[in-house]
Amino acid sequence: MDLKNTFQKWGHILKSDTLNQDQMQAGTGFMACLSDAIRDFEKKGYSANLVAEYDHFRSQQISIYPEDFYVDQIVRFENSSDPDDQSILYAISSKEYSLKGLYVESYGLYHDSLSSPMLERIKFCQKNKK
């Protein structure tokens, strides 16, 4: 059985072209486990833990503003059996700081607290994949 087709058939959302079928088998059998996806990105060098501030991401003492980062990939996780268990994983890189990191947010919860330039950068990166 092709899990990607099954996954789409049930209307679950996972927007990623690099996740493998083992990841898709985690959890409910239709969606990847967030912790597995994080481990896979860490293997690809995304080691920084990013925190979103109003107008920038922060990693330890580094502040990364919208003009200094690119959202390489976004993976959305939705759990139909638990609407409160939804999240988005952002794989972010900054050539300016030679940094690759991850930012996880609860689905839709914190977008209002981000500045317009932050939201525009995220949208821009979604539309203009590398």
pLDDT in tens, 23-66: 444 433 444 688 889 999 999 999 999 999 989 999 999 999 99
Binning the chain into helix, strand and coil, the percentages to the nearest 5 are 30, 25, 45
Q: Is 3 strand, coil or helix?
A: helix
Judged against a pLDDT cut of 50, whether residue 95 lies above it is answered with yes
Q: Is 34 strand, coil or helix?
A: helix
- Tell me the percentage of the chain whose pLDDT exceeds 90: 39
Average pLDDT, the chain: 76
- Report residue 23: phi and psi, to 5°: -65, -40
Site of tokens 């493998």:
20
Instruction: Indicate the domain borders of the chain.
Output: 3-127
